[in-house]
Amino acid sequence: MAVRTALITDRIPIAESAQIIYVYDKRDCYLKNVLTFIESAIEQEEHVLLIDDACLFDTALQHLSRKKTPQQLTTVHFASNACLVSYFQNEQTDESLLSSIGVGLHDYQNRYHPLRLWIRADTTESVPERIQHFSKSFLMKLQFMFVAAFDGNKISAQTENVLRKCHEYFMTDDTIVLSNLIDKNLTPFKQLSVQQSEKKTRLQLQATRERLESFIGQNIDPIMILDKNDQSLFINQAFSNLLGWTERDVVGLPADKLPEIDPKRAFEVGRDRDRIKLQNQITAYESIRKTKFGRLINVSITGYPLVDENGEYNGRVMTVQDITATKQAQLLHFQAEKLSLYGEMAAGLAHEIRNPITAIKGFLQLARLEKKEDNDYLPIMAAEIRRIESILNELLLLAKPKATRFCRNNLIEIIEDAVTLLHPQASLAQVDLITTFDKRPLFIFCDKNQLKQVCVNFIKNAIEAMPKDGKVRIHVKSRPGEAIIVFSDQGKGMSKNILEHIGTPFFTTKEQGTGLGMMVSNEIVKSHQGTVAISSKVTRGTTVEIHLPQMAGIVTQD
């Protein structure tokens, strides 16, 4: 007749850190349960420490070697239980002996994880108090699954009850049950409950992580994950679909060496890291990325931090969205706005150019009449010609379509160019353009032509909002990390209702306006990771503030 065993892993669910007391009667049943315990551990890829006599360990290995591979058997470890025999035979409780066993188990637990323990505690009925002490002082402090086996022929029912009060599971040769005598007020039992709760939490966290990984992997937005040292950890399929790069191409590389990032844009990596630490996110900004096939595409990039269990920064998630179609639509808007701008500026430009041409014609006539070699009129004519050339150059520079090109530029020069371009229109409208900044450079990372168009739009709006003899003030200042341009006029101002609609496509208060100028300007500033703030009061005028990121190592404006 086959020997019936408890099959401790199959009959009832056993907690990961279960404390099992096993009182056995038959040696062959004992061996069967040892083998079942070890086989279960191997199947779950856990290590087993068997504290027993060497003879039983050799017998167990002989049986296991018929079913398991040598590699699997390397997870089975042995220690002699001779020290426990000595412990139970001595009249005095040897605390140092228990302590040394505990240290040894701690070492095993650190080296082999996860670990489960089978320990046979040979004893005699003459020392029941020592069994209770062994249980409470040693067994109940273990933080992993164990089976503590006692010979049922050597302990009394009284000692057995003592063991059942201290441990959650009770096992015989063919049965394992939850102990009905467990003292639930014992601290070790509370610890076990906490352990089970922690296991549940770990399982929930693992399930959450798997759902998150599935969400990221199947997300339609291209996603890259970087660690806290800016090294690439992961990309999803959408990232590969957009840019062509695979995990083999990018995972493991430093972010500033990634093949999709142009070396000229490597500065974005450190800037993104600093911003996400300070602001807890990276708001969408525009950039350029290179596909595996060499094509450059416009992208919008956002980012969010990853934190560890202590809430410390541990990396970031970066999303990359293709905005090529959006940029093409914006380009059409930009060109439409430019055409409108040129038409409105034509009268002022014609008036401004006509004046120096008239002066040149007059001086030429005088020069022919006087026929002097050293003519005093020539320097004046040359100056007027240079002025015409400057105005036409600025107009052509603004009109000529160019690819977006971000680089280091002096903000002061950009504003001065815009003022030069609009001076004719201001003169025609009898409006003064007043600049209040010095000539020291103020460097920002920008597209010069785009930012000049923004300045032209806001200055032109201010001129058109002004009565005769009005003043448009243009002020530049800086704060740590940002440059600020302020345009203020003395016009009629705007109501709160109109302010709420400013920037809406095709919304305008001008009879001949397109309603695109403010929208175009907002989009340009946004692409430079800046902001536009507008304040206005009826009859008091309007103030526009543009905030732009400032480059490090600049000369600041007061």
pLDDT in tens, 299-331: 999 998 988 878 888 889 999 989 888 877 777
The pLDDT assigned to 475 comes to 92
CA 271 vs CA 274, 354, 377: distances in Å? 5, 50, 56
Per-residue pLDDT for 224 more than 70?
A: yes
pLDDT in tens, 36-65: 889 888 888 888 889 888 899 999 999 999
How far is Cα 225 from Cα 317, in angstroms, rounded to an integer? 5
The pLDDT assigned to 473 comes to 92
* Mean pLDDT within 368-384: 65
CA 369 vs CA 57, 104, 377: distances in Å? 126, 116, 12
Q: How many CA atoms lie less than 13 Å away from 214 in the CB half-sphere?
A: 6
Show the CA angle centred on residue 5, arms to residues 3 and 11, nearest 5°. 145
The pLDDT assigned to 6 comes to 46
Q: What is the mean pLDDT of the chain?
A: 77
Q: 243 with 292: CB under 8 angstroms? A: yes
The pLDDT assigned to 351 comes to 57
Name which residue leads in pLDDT, 63 or 553.
Answer: 63
Burial per residue of 476-513, b for 16 or more beta-carbon CB atoms within 10 angstroms, e otherwise: bbbeeebbbbbbbbbbbbbeeeeeeebbeeeeeeeeeb
Per-residue pLDDT for 111 more than 70?
A: yes
Among positive and negative, which fits the CA dihedral 336, 341, 342, 346?
Answer: positive
The two tokens of residue 493 are 């101002």
pLDDT in tens, 378-414: 676 767 776 676 666 555 555 555 556 778 889 999 9
The pLDDT assigned to 159 comes to 75
Among positive and negative, which fits the CA dihedral 304, 309, 315, 318?
Answer: negative
Name which residue leads in pLDDT, 335 or 224.
Answer: 224
Name which residue leads in pLDDT, 58 or 332.
Answer: 58
* Mean pLDDT within 128-151: 72
The pLDDT assigned to 243 comes to 92
Q: How many CA atoms lie less than 13 Å away from 247 in the CB half-sphere?
A: 7
Amino acid identity of residue 357, one-letter, is: I
* Pairs from 80-85 (Cβ < 8 Å, separation ≥ 24): 80/51, 80/52, 80/53, 80/54, 81/51, 81/52, 81/53, 81/119, 81/120, 81/121, 81/122, 82/53, 84/51, 84/119, 84/120, 84/121, 84/122, 85/122
Selection from 433, 422, 426 nearest residue 390 by Cα: 422
pLDDT in tens, 500-542: 777 665 566 665 555 567 777 887 888 888 899 989 888 888 9
Name which residue leads in pLDDT, 201 or 167.
Answer: 167
Residue 184: pLDDT band by 50, 70, 90 thresholds?
low
The pLDDT assigned to 344 comes to 57
* Pairs from 100-108 (Cβ < 8 Å, separation ≥ 24): 101/138, 102/138, 102/141, 104/79, 105/49, 105/142, 108/47, 108/49, 108/77
The pLDDT assigned to 391 comes to 62
pLDDT over 70 percentage in the chain: 67
The two tokens of residue 547 are 């905030």
Residue 84: pLDDT band by 50, 70, 90 thresholds?
confident
Q: How far is CA 513 from the centre of its chain?
A: 43
Amino acid identity of residue 391, one-letter, is: I
Per-residue pLDDT for 137 more than 50?
A: yes
The pLDDT assigned to 195 comes to 44
Name which residue leads in pLDDT, 341 or 412.
Answer: 412
254 cis-preceded (ω within 30 degrees of 0): no
For the ranges 288-297, 366-375, 379-388, 442-451, the lowest mean pLDDT is seen at: 366-375
How far is Cα 557 from Cα 489, in angstroms, rounded to an integer? 22
Selection from 198, 149, 204, 153 nearest residue 176 by Cα: 149
Name which residue leads in pLDDT, 400 or 222.
Answer: 222
DSSP track, 65-120 = TTTS-HHHHTTEEEEE-HHHHHHHHSSS--HHHHHHHHHHHHHHHHHSSSEEEEEE
Name which residue leads in pLDDT, 357 or 554.
Answer: 357
- Range from 258-272, 373-387, 426-440 that averages highest in pLDDT: 258-272
The pLDDT assigned to 469 comes to 80
Per-residue pLDDT for 485 more than 50?
A: yes
Per-residue pLDDT for 187 more than 50?
A: no
The two tokens of residue 133 are 């002490």
For the ranges 101-115, 149-163, 407-421, 432-446, the lowest mean pLDDT is seen at: 101-115
The pLDDT assigned to 12 comes to 42
Per-residue pLDDT for 194 more than 80?
A: no
Task: Write down the residue that tokens 């291209």 correspond to.
Answer: 222
pTM, entire model: 0.38
* Mean pLDDT within 202-215: 66
Per-residue pLDDT for 220 more than 60?
A: yes
Per-residue pLDDT for 545 more than 90?
A: yes
Q: 44 with 50: CB under 8 angstroms? A: no
The pLDDT assigned to 556 comes to 41
Hey, how many other C-beta atoms are within 10 angstroms of the C-beta on 159? 20
